[in-house]
Amino acid sequence: MIDKTVPTVEAAVAEISDGASVMIGGFGTAGMPDELIDALIARGVGDLTIINNNAGNGEHGVAALIREGRVRKIICSFPRQSDSHHFDAAFRAGKIELELVPQGNLAARIHAAGAGLGAIFTPTGFGTQLAEGKETRLIDGRHYVLEYPIQADFALIKAEQGDRWGNLVYRKTARNFGPIMAMAARTTIAQVRHIVPLGALDPEVIVTPGIFVQRVVESAPALAAVA
Amino acid sequence: MIDKTVPTVEAAVAEISDGASVMIGGFGTAGMPDELIDALIARGVGDLTIINNNAGNGEHGVAALIREGRVRKIICSFPRQSDSHHFDAAFRAGKIELELVPQGNLAARIHAAGAGLGAIFTPTGFGTQLAEGKETRLIDGRHYVLEYPIQADFALIKAEQGDRWGNLVYRKTARNFGPIMAMAARTTIAQVRHIVPLGALDPEVIVTPGIFVQRVVESAPALAAVA
Amino acid sequence: MNRLNRDQMAERVARDIPEGAYVNLGIGLPTKVANYLPADRDIFLQSENGLLGMGPAPAKGEEDWELINAGKQAVTLLTGGCFFHHADSFAMMRGGHLDICVLGAFQVSIHGDLANWHTGEPGAIPAVGGAMDLAIGAKQTFVMMELFTKQGACKLVEACTYPLTGLGCVSRVYTDMAVFDLGVDGAKVVEMVEGLTLEDLRQSTGLTLTLANEIEAA
Amino acid sequence: MNRLNRDQMAERVARDIPEGAYVNLGIGLPTKVANYLPADRDIFLQSENGLLGMGPAPAKGEEDWELINAGKQAVTLLTGGCFFHHADSFAMMRGGHLDICVLGAFQVSIHGDLANWHTGEPGAIPAVGGAMDLAIGAKQTFVMMELFTKQGACKLVEACTYPLTGLGCVSRVYTDMAVFDLGVDGAKVVEMVEGLTLEDLRQSTGLTLTLANEIEAA
């Protein structure tokens, strides 16, 4: 019997080691796998490459990872936020490398990795600073920039429900990057509000098939109630 | 009030004219929009470019379009089937042009069109006849073939339920090419088993958002009961 | 001359959005446009974070922080709306499925180049988000901005000096003083506020401006 | 020498599929492998037409023609299975998410080149389907075939003469006479049926064959 559920967030992140590349789902706080990130911080590994839409704000999640000095490089579309002082300080001090990627290219490059493409000609960024030095091509009268897939060793994502085969469904705009990061990471770890029995999820509405998920852990109930 | 439903299949296909490119959903008979194809045949237009996984079998659907001499070119992955004699005859007589595409490239090229990519480096077909004359590239130790998007003027697809905004859900393996063809065609026409009131479809489980669909028509009840 | 205030600008943009349009309103000023879309018309607002059919803000105390817009504000979903993942959301934008997007800008060139993501100042932390995707993806990209900065510099320019968001992507600019159509032939004045003349506009902007076919006073 | 029949070959392949594997069984001969997968192990069968967790054929009269496999036969869905569209289905294959795919073949080269889609005969209508995607996508591609054609030609060859499906993609070949591992160093014999010697195999195939580390009689 295959059972991808694990009892604790600590067990869920136990294979992540120094130097790993880690995708983290979420857009703003929606879909942010806070408890997995906390467990990753507690694990103490560093030199990480983080792929997330933002670079953290406030004192939690990605911001805390940066504050603790665990992040060597971040690939994101929108690092500058009202309360992103930990990223700002690390960036200005030259302690973190930033790869700034237009959000649609970020999504498409993650999707391309999951789908096995070698590279994609994307319409976004042509003629801008963010395409400097990149190969471009005129196709059918339109300019495109060649972009490469973004893969990762791990993805930490948040879903609403998951089963022991790793099938997931999400809730509202917390879905965001979860499904495509699950496809692009070698090991995908999903924090879910509820682990449900196999068969409880309608096969027509499963958003992430279990093939893309390696670990499922239920959020601590007390925290889930607050979230 | 926006209402994309139309009363008859004849009205649904009324804009398709000679020389149009038309994607047709379905894999085998599952998801094949038979009534829309019948209406297209009845409309009498020709010189069509058809994009479908197969090239029709028996006497219905794509096979009937070919039999009636309406198809100038077909883009598909698997034209040879047990009962594909209309295609076979037209092909051997030089009356139909065939662009044979590996099924994954077909899906990825349709998806690329819907997603606005200019071209994609795909892993499939390298070193084979089907990549002859195409640009290739070695990326990160693996060989890829450059493939271009497949767009179309129209897509004819079949879904289970649809509403007046064009939102669709599918049934089992009848989903297949429907969602990506809807994204890749300028005008997507969906034949559905049931038109449902706006709001009847759970926003979490809508597979094709209405933005990708321009017309929705309900299958004739008598035929739907047989299907 | 009666310059439009920001609400009047939003109202003016809203008038050009037809029923049935799929629209993305960028963060900041363009979000005001939603307030002026008539409730009895079906207009479909898309949010980059995976939402189509976005409704107004919820009542205070009824926020759901898993139902937010691109600006991370709590929103609602209209009956008939739906959710999807980020690749599908940006496929909508980049694949040309949106009819209109409305963006703010630092500068727009008379040929439609857009600069709205980065001031380029030394030490400024760049952040692009979905701006570049929106700019080049929609069938029509509208910009909504005051024509002049607080310092008096004209934001409609011959050529942008700020880092570009996209090339030749803006088709129309709505400002507090006039509405302009942009293109390869340069900027054409579509409308001016009462009391403003084409000559005034030419002088204050320093641009070669022509009149579009139909000119009407706002 | 006791050649394996097709069911025995299927049974032999099934023995190499571990619990938890995501597997695609190609149309034709490989579909037989499903009959020998133990029901008490969770093994996930994928079908290219948008199905994961494929179950056995339904009882006669209970077919649902919207629930079919790649060979267009009626199938069932296991509890925990799900449906998805074609781009997602081929992303599973091409993105390296399948552990194993099992394919039939016209020819396989000792370096793992595969020919299984087209005889190349004049007048033959080519059809490729998902063969090329499967061949190069899965982590391991197994081929299952009789070692010789009915005309006595060896199907494991130095270099394929039929049009190729993929280059260097097959890692293991299961035949009625022996199992071979393929790679840049050529073909290694993993197993032979009772009564067959390496020398017999070398003579009948005309190939330079070596033994893999552990050789066992089937």
Q: What is the pLDDT of residues C63-78, one digit of tens each?
A: 999 999 999 999 999 9
Strand partners, B49: B21, B73
Is C102 a residue whose pLDDT tops 80? yes
Which pLDDT score, from 0 to 100, does residue A98 have?
Answer: 97
Closest residue in A to D77 (Cα–Cα)? A203
How crowded is the C-beta side of D20, counted as CA atoms within 13 Å?
9
> Among all chains, which residue has been given the structure tokens 């939102």?
B167
Lowest mean pLDDT across A161-165, B56-60, B94-98, C191-195: B56-60
Which pLDDT score, from 0 to 100, does residue D214 have?
Answer: 54
Active site residue D194: no
Q: Which chains touch D (3 or more CB pairs under 8 A)?
A: A, B
Cross-chain residue pair A116–D42, CB shorter than 8 Å: no
Name the pLDDT band for B80 (thresholds 50, 70, 90). Answer: confident
Strand partners, B122: B145
What is the average pLDDT value for chain C, to the nearest integer? 95
Residue B29 near chain D (CB below 8 Å): yes
Torsion sign over Cα C120, C121, C123, C128: negative
**CA B201, CA A20: separation in Å to the nearest integer?**
41
* Nearest chain A Cα distance for residue D54, angstroms: 12
Report the share of chain B in percent with pLDDT over 90.
Answer: 90
Q: Which of D159, D201, D203 is nearest to D176 (CA)?
A: D201
Which pLDDT score, from 0 to 100, does residue D218 have?
Answer: 44
Go through the domains of chain D in sequence order and give each one's CATH number.
6-217 (3.40.1080.10)
**Contact assessment for residue B167 and residue B3, using Cβ atoms and an 8 Å cutoff:** no
Residue D53 near chain B (CB below 8 Å): no
Which pLDDT score, from 0 to 100, does residue C218 have?
Answer: 44
Beta strands (DSSP E) in chain A are 21-24, 48-51, 71-76, 97-100, 119-122, 136-139, 142-147, 152-162, 168-169, 185-195, 215-218
Catalytic site residue from D48, D146, D194, D199: D48
Task: Name the residue facing C95 among B116, B209, B210 (closest C-beta).
Answer: B116
Residue C89 near chain A (CB below 8 Å): yes
Amino acid at A174: A
pLDDT in tens, D90-130: 999 999 999 999 999 999 999 999 999 998 888 889 999 99
Tell me what the mean pLDDT of segment C27-54 comes to. Answer: 95
CB atoms within 10 A of CB C1: 11
End-to-end CA gap in chain D: 11
Angle at B11 between CA B10 and CA B14, to 5 degrees: 85
Strands A142-147 and A168-169: unpaired
Interface of A with C in 41-80 (CB under 8 A): 77-80
Cross-chain residue pair C80–B115, CB shorter than 8 Å: no
Which pLDDT score, from 0 to 100, does residue C214 have?
Answer: 54
Residue D87 near chain A (CB below 8 Å): yes
Residue C79 near chain B (CB below 8 Å): yes
**CA A21, CA A23: separation in Å to the nearest integer?**
7
Angle at D25 between CA D49 and CA D153, to 5 degrees: 125
Residue D209 near chain A (CB below 8 Å): no
pLDDT in tens, D9-46: 999 999 999 999 999 999 889 999 999 999 889 999 99
Take residue D112 and report the two structure tokens written for it. 């793992």
**CA A199, CA C124: separation in Å to the nearest integer?**
51
Strand partners, B17: none
Residues of C in contact with A178 (CB under 8 A): 85
**Contact assessment for residue C12 and residue C179, using Cβ atoms and an 8 Å cutoff:** yes
A103-115 vs D86-94: helix crossing angle, rounded to 10: 70
Burial of residue B2 (CB within 10 Å: 0-12, 13-18, 19+) is: middle
Closest residue in C to A94 (Cα–Cα)? C123
Closest residue in D to B112 (Cα–Cα)? D87
Residues of B in contact with C80 (CB under 8 A): 163-165, 167, 198-199, 210
Take residue D97 and report the two structure tokens written for it. 């998410």
Angle at C216 between CA C214 and CA C218, to 5 degrees: 145
Burial of residue C98 (CB within 10 Å: 0-12, 13-18, 19+) is: buried
Residues of B in contact with D163 (CB under 8 A): 128-129
Chains C and D touch (3+ CB pairs under 8 A): no
> Among all chains, which residue has been given the structure tokens 């199992």?
D179
**CA C107, CA C96: separation in Å to the nearest integer?**
24
Tell me what the mean pLDDT of segment C91-111 comes to. Answer: 98
Is D217 a residue whose pLDDT tops 70? no
Cross-chain residue pair D133–B103, CB shorter than 8 Å: yes
How crowded is the C-beta side of C12, counted as CA atoms within 13 Å?
28
Tell me what the mean pLDDT of segment C107-112 comes to. Answer: 98
Residue B116 near chain C (CB below 8 Å): yes
Residue D47 near chain B (CB below 8 Å): yes
Which pLDDT score, from 0 to 100, does residue A221 have?
Answer: 57
**CA C144, CA C16: separation in Å to the nearest integer?**
12
Name the pLDDT band for C213 (thresholds 50, 70, 90). Answer: confident
The phi, psi pair for D154, rounded to 5°, reads -75, 135
This complex has an ipTM of 0.96
**CA C139, CA C134: separation in Å to the nearest integer?**
10
Strand partners, B132: none
Which pLDDT score, from 0 to 100, does residue B224 have?
Answer: 43
pLDDT in tens, B104-123: 999 999 999 999 999 999 99
How many pairs of residues across A and B have Cβ atoms under 8 Å apart? 64
**CA A23, CA B163: separation in Å to the nearest integer?**
36
Is D216 a residue whose pLDDT tops 70? no
Angstrom CA distances, B79 to B3, B161, C214, D126, stand at 37, 29, 55, 7
Outline where chain D has alpha helix (H): 6-15, 86-94, 131-137, 198-205
**CA A29, CA A40: separation in Å to the nearest integer?**
17
**Contact assessment for residue D129 and residue D104, using Cβ atoms and an 8 Å cutoff:** no
Closest residue in A to D94 (Cα–Cα)? A116
- Measure the CA dihedral A127/A132/A137/A139, to 10°: -40
Cross-chain residue pair D66–B28, CB shorter than 8 Å: no
Give residue D42's region: left, alpha or beta (phi > 0; psi -120 to 50).
Answer: beta
Which pLDDT score, from 0 to 100, does residue D39 have?
Answer: 86
**What is the length of chain B?**
227
pLDDT in tens, A73-115: 999 999 987 788 999 999 999 999 999 999 999 999 999 999 9
**Contact assessment for residue D91 and residue D117, using Cβ atoms and an 8 Å cutoff:** no
Interface of A with D in 180-219 (CB under 8 A): 183, 198-199, 201, 203-204, 206, 209-212
**CA C114, CA C107: separation in Å to the nearest integer?**
6
Its CATH class, for the domain covering A14-101+151-226, is: alpha beta
Q: Which of D77, D56, D53 is nearest to D66 (CA)?
A: D77
Residue D126 near chain B (CB below 8 Å): yes
**CA A129, CA C113: separation in Å to the nearest integer?**
14
Cross-chain residue pair A80–C126, CB shorter than 8 Å: yes
Strand partners, D157: D109
Residues of chain B whose C-beta is under 8 A from some C-beta in A? Answer: 108, 112, 115-123, 137, 139-140, 142, 144, 148, 169-172, 202, 204-205
The phi, psi pair for A37, rounded to 5°, reads -65, -45
**Contact assessment for residue D155 and residue B104, using Cβ atoms and an 8 Å cutoff:** no
Long-range CB pairs of B61-64 (<8 Å, 24+ gap) are B61/B24, B61/B26, B61/B32, B61/B34, B61/B37, B62/B24, B62/B37, B63/B87, B64/B37, B64/B38
Which pLDDT score, from 0 to 100, does residue A82 have?
Answer: 77
What is the average pLDDT value for chain B, to the nearest integer? 95
DSSP 8-state assignment for residue D118: -
Amino acid at B222: A
Tell me what the mean pLDDT of segment B49-70 comes to. Answer: 94
**Contact assessment for residue D47 and residue B173, using Cβ atoms and an 8 Å cutoff:** yes
Angstrom CA distances, B57 to A196, B85, B103, C48, D129, stand at 43, 7, 18, 42, 15
Residues of A in contact with B121 (CB under 8 A): 117-120
pLDDT in tens, B198-216: 999 999 999 999 999 999 9
What Rg value do the Cα atoms of chain A yield, rounded? 18
Closest residue in A to B148 (Cα–Cα)? A139
Is D155 a residue whose pLDDT tops 70? yes
Decide: pTM greater than 0.90: yes
How crowded is the C-beta side of B189, counted as CA atoms within 13 Å?
30
Cross-chain residue pair C85–A100, CB shorter than 8 Å: no
Closest residue in D to A151 (Cα–Cα)? D95
3-state secondary structure of B149: coil
Cross-chain residue pair B169–A204, CB shorter than 8 Å: yes
pLDDT in tens, C152-162: 999 999 999 99
Task: Name the residue facing A121 among B108, B119, B139 (closest C-beta).
Answer: B119
